[in-house]
């Protein structure tokens, strides 16, 4: 690669926002043994606004062509591994969700 070159790193996956959240719910329900579909009631739809993204997509063509880069993990496997990591590491993210992390951050960095 040339110095200063910019590359988009992606896995050739396009998902609408709603399709991705439905897939995440399906995986979590499956991993936790929840009643399939029951968690969908937790989805809160918001009114679309100007500039509201309906999907996110990254074109990795340049990095593939220039550097021969390919993802090691395909999305379907990676999303399950990611969900499982969060399920197995509740202490880590519950600290953030509870606001305790913010208290730590303010204590450590507010006087700089």
Please give the C-alpha separations between residue 76 and each of 24, 42, 49, 54, in angstroms, as whole numbers: 11, 23, 30, 20
Structure-token pair, residue 27:
């995986």
The β-bridge partners of 15 are 56
Tens digit of each residue's pLDDT (9 = 90 or more) over 15-56? 888 899 999 999 999 998 887 677 888 899 888 877 777 777
- pTM beyond 0.75: the answer is no
The secondary element (H helix, E strand) that includes residue 46 is none
Q: Tell me 44's DSSP state.
A: -
Tens digit of each residue's pLDDT (9 = 90 or more) over 42-95? 899 888 877 777 777 889 999 999 999 999 999 999 999 999 999 999 998 888
Q: Tell me 35's DSSP state.
A: P
* Dihedral of alpha carbons 90, 93, 29, 80, sign: negative
* DSSP E strand boundaries for 1-112: 15-16, 55-56
Residue 101 CB contacts under 8 Å (≥ 6 apart), including other chains: 95
Structure-token pair, residue 58:
């990254």
């Amino acid at each position: 690669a040339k110095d200063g070159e910019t590359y988009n790193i992606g896995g050739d996956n396009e998902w609408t926002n709603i399709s991705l959240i439905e897939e995440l719910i399906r995986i979590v329900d499956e991993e936790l043994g929840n009643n399939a579909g029951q968690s969908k009631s937790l989805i809160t739809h918001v009114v679309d606004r100007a500039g509201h993204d309906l999907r996110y997509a990254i074109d990795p063509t340049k990095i593939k062509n220039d550097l021969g880069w390919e993802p090691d993990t395909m999305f379907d496997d990676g999303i399950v591994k990611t969900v499982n990591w969060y399920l197995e590491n509740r202490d880590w993210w519950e600290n953030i969700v509870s606001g305790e992390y913010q208290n730590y951050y303010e204590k450590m960095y507010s006087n700089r």
